[in-house]
Amino acid sequence: MTTAQDVTPLLDRLGVRRSSSGLEARSPIDGASLGHVAECADVGAIIGEAAAAFDRWRRVPAPRRGELVRRLGEVLRENKDDLGALVSTEVGKVTSEGLGEVQEMIDICDFAVGLSRQLHGLTIATERPDHRMMETWHPLGVVGIITAFNFPVAVWAWNAALALVCGDSVVWKPSEKAPLCALAVQALFTEACRRFGDEAPAGLSGLAIGGRTVGQALVDDARVALVSSTGSTAMGRAVGQRVAARFGRSLLELGGNNAAIVRPSADIDLSVRGIAFAAMGTAGQRCTTLRRLFVDANIYDQFVSRLKAAYASVRVGDPREEGVLVGPLIDEEAWYAMGGALQAAHDMGGVITGGERLERAGTYVTPALVEMPAHDGPVLAETFAPILYVLKVSDLNESIALNNAVGQGLSSAIFTNDLREAELFLAESDCGIANVNIGTSGAEIGGAFGGEKETGGGRESGSDAWRAYMRRATNTINYGRTLPLAQGVTFDI
């Protein structure tokens, strides 16, 4: 069945209406048009509604706000199959990954519901008698959410579920490559609000569909207290500077150039599986995709030949078909970027296995494994496609130095059964995510997610990431009858 035929019943069930003109949605599965979606004409008006909604929502008790997010999780559970299928149709993820993305939304809703009773601060010892000092956390305001194409629904939920329990309203600028997913999520959120009742104000979660200019309007609006932006490093550089210029807050989740190290003591079967999934899964279009691999010289030949066998066995094709592990690239542009990187690697003496374009509608490629003579050129950049650069290394210190020798600092992994090696790596990898005997991709929502350096420094999802969505106040209370000043200062009048 063509994607255009496939999508209509899905959209009907999810409550999505297309329009006769506007932004065109396309499926990377077969390149077919999925229809048009109206673009946002007035971002300022949506932000205005969200600001008004914030004034009401921040007064709703946090556990009650959690109830709305619980309702959202409930609606997502009921619609998981349809929304997962829409993710597959609009961005080309294999079925289990489309469903997995919706599961992540459900998981963050569960997490946020618990969090809604735990938005607590510290009580701090004070130097003044009969005083108490404490920290309190308060709702921040309107949170702008800008998302990338490759996680068209989960990243909104990572941000929105936390922002909503924290008492914020949100305005979402989804990727222009996945507007149908955004409309579907908006319809499901509306249903959750209906079930929740009148306490959810209109405009609590606004949707602004469009391209870069719509994103920029969100970024430049002083009513948006926090801009949480996920995408390329180039986007983050532009967004971060503009938000900083108006003293707004930004949370940046940007590109990665993730590496793994394989040591002689590693469990080879486990390592090959972990590396193959991390490098080829989602057709190399995850921020945490494995892009660089450092293999110890003593096991290099044996390990790389096992990896090549895994590459040869993987099925590339229509992501809706059973047994397919690698779906299409998002568009032709992605193929040009991949082709350019492979050419540059070849020119440097890289030996390429795979990396061929398949002759069929849509942009399908076989994942590329490139044995590189040096850690240079295209190896230093994130190319958003399935290319794994493999280098032979002589020791662990060299591997860790190379792991850290790129601009980005998102995810990293070591495969070893040597405790000392594992601990040294965890201490010295400069990434926000460092794993042992697991690949670089596939984070769980319980942990804080994000990376250092050009990855932007933001943290989303679990742990204490909620603090980014609130403002902190330090309160000092005097319950005595005198007014002692701090640091022994006197001021007698």
Q: Which residues bind ligand NAD (CB under 6 A)?
A: 146-151, 173, 175-176, 211-212, 215-216, 219, 230-232, 235, 238-239, 253-256, 287, 382, 384, 410, 455
Angle (nearest 5°) at CA 283 between 360 and 36: 65
Shortest distance in whole angstroms from residue 88 CB to ligand NAD:
17
Instruction: Say which amino acid occupies 352.
Output: I
Residue 216 or 463 having the CB closest to ligand NAD: 216
Shortest distance in whole angstroms from residue 456 CB to ligand NAD:
7
Shortest distance in whole angstroms from residue 451 CB to ligand NAD:
6
Distance linking the first and last C-alpha atoms of the chain: 85
Shortest distance in whole angstroms from residue 346 CB to ligand NAD:
23
Residue 57 or 384 having the CB closest to ligand NAD: 384
Residue 181 or 304 having the CB closest to ligand NAD: 181
DSSP run (H or E) holding 14: helix 3-14
Q: Which of 191, 253, 421, 460 is catalytic?
A: 253
DSSP letters for 309-345: HHHHH--BS-TTSTT--B--BSSHHHHHHHHHHHHHH
Q: Which two tokens stand for residue 474?
A: 């330090």
DSSP letters for 46-92: HHHHHHHHHHHHTTS-HHHHHHHHHHHHHHHHHTHHHHHHHHHHHH-
Does 253 participate in catalysis according to the annotation? yes
Alpha carbon 441 to its chain's center = 11
Residue 119 or 341 having the CB closest to ligand NAD: 341
Between strands 205-207 and 224-230, the pairing is unpaired
Residue 258 or 353 having the CB closest to ligand NAD: 258
Shortest distance in whole angstroms from residue 268 CB to ligand NAD:
29
How many CA atoms within 13 Å lie on the side-chain side of 400? 14
Contact indicator for 327, 386 with CB cutoff of 8 Å: no
Residue 75 or 219 having the CB closest to ligand NAD: 219
Helices (H), 247-322: 268-280, 300-313
Shortest distance in whole angstroms from residue 172 CB to ligand NAD:
10
Catalytic (active-site) positions: 253
